[in-house]
Every structure is written in C-alpha cells, then in structure tokens.
Amino acid sequence: MQQSIRVYAGRCTVSENDATQDGEVVALVKPDNTVLVHDASGYQPAAWLTRADAVQVERDEGGFRLRARKGGDSLSLSGESVGHAEFTVSPAGPRVGTCPTCDAALVRERGAVTCIGCADSFPLPRDATITDDTCEDCGLPTLSVERGDHFEVCLDRTCESLDEVVRDRFAGRWTCPTCEGNLAIERNRGLRATCEECGRSHVVPSGIVSDPCACGLPTFETTDGPRCLDPACEATGAH
C-alpha cells in the first residue's frame, strides 16, 4: 500500500501544549502521524509531535485547523490556508537490489529491506550483510550472517529460514553443562540455544564457533573478541 505525506501551508497560530507561536509555516503530516511544523529558520521544526495517536484536519474555503494528540501532549494549527498537497512517499536508503515483483529498487532502511515500488518489506538481523547474489527460487537478494557458522540465506524468511538453517547445523551438537541435556535451537525473543531437559537458554550470538569454553558451552569468535554462549560466564579462555 502506498503511503503519503500531507502538506499544509498557511499563516497560522501554532499551539504546542502551553506554548503559542504565530507565523507563516508549513506543516507536514507523515504516514505514522508524526506532525512537523517548519518556519523560515534552520533545519529543526518550530514545533512537532511524534507519532500522534490521532490527527484531525478541517478545511474550508479560506482556512484550516489541524489537531494532533498523543497522550497528554497536543499540537494544533489554525489560520489562513495558502496551500495544501499530498505526495506519495516511500522509505529511503542505500539500494541493495531490484524487487522481483515490480522491478523497483530495494533499499535497506531501519532494520529491513523494503521495495520503494510495491512496498514489500523484509526484516533483517542487525548484523546481516546484503550480498550481490540472488536467491535461485524467488529472485530476492541473499543475506550473509554469522550464527555459529557463516550462513548465506534468502532475504525472505518464508523462502529460506535462517532459523531452520542454524537448527540443521547445530541442534543437538551442544550439551548443557548443568544437566548434560542436548541444546535445541529455537526462536524465542531471538535465536536461542535451549536445553531440552532443564530449560537453560542463551541467545546465539553473532560469531563463529571456536574451541569449547572451560564451562562446557561453545565459545564464539565475535567482533568484540571470544565469548561464551553464556554471556555471564567468566571462564571464557580458561581452557
């Protein structure tokens, strides 16, 4: 679904909570209901309200009134209208490929890859790198990520699941030092290695598995150096 920014320009009284300003301003209402009011000076808005719960606009032949509220905060504009418009917008970011659905650009923005044409969007792990390769099945780019080993999978999790790839590689290979049960790989507020017997559970970090930690859990070589699967473990490196 296409999104749009609404623009209202006029000679207005701007009220932001208890503060009032008068002037010729331009107000922008973004798709997430963020309202930005710009005057002639600088880059920072003269007034704003982020992600309002509701935005109401009333217009007549000569003027308009805009009201926005979020909790106990409010922002309103009222006055003479000199123009209004609505423009289609999309996410913006570095181009990482071409959408196989509509041939528009795919851009990386705010933890996702999104098509600026049809708006298809795919969430990304924070540490993922988008490769120059494309998936043979769906045509989307692939992503490169480290979860115990280096994996390259399709951007679309419904086409190729990173969870399943990591599970196939490591499920049952690690042993719980508490009860010697096998560690399963599951999705629960992150990709986790969880003991099937006692429930001990740790997030699988970004890195490559190296020698076992002295505690019995695997050690990961990360960008910050070696660390145990258990982030609270003090035995890492004490082999």
Q: Nearest 5 degrees, angle CA 27-CA 33-CA 37?
A: 20
CA distance 30 to 90: 11
| pLDDT beyond 70 at 57 | yes
Residue 161 is given by DSSP the state -
- The domain spans of the chain are 3-89, 95-156, 171-228
Residue whose token pair is 């990961």: 220
Report the CATH architecture of 3-89: Distorted Sandwich (2.70)
Could you tell me which of 180, 174, 175 has the C-alpha nearest to residue 149? 174
- pTM confidence score: 0.75
pLDDT of residue 238: 42
Q: What is the pLDDT of residues 193-202, one digit of tens each?
A: 999 899 999 9
Confidence of residue 236 (pLDDT cuts 50, 70, 90): low
Confidence of residue 190 (pLDDT cuts 50, 70, 90): confident
pLDDT of residue 1: 58
- 126 burial class (0-12, 13-18, 19+ CB within 10 angstroms)? exposed
Q: What is the pLDDT of residues 124-182, one digit of tens each?
A: 998 999 999 999 999 999 999 999 999 999 999 999 999 999 999 998 899 999 899 99
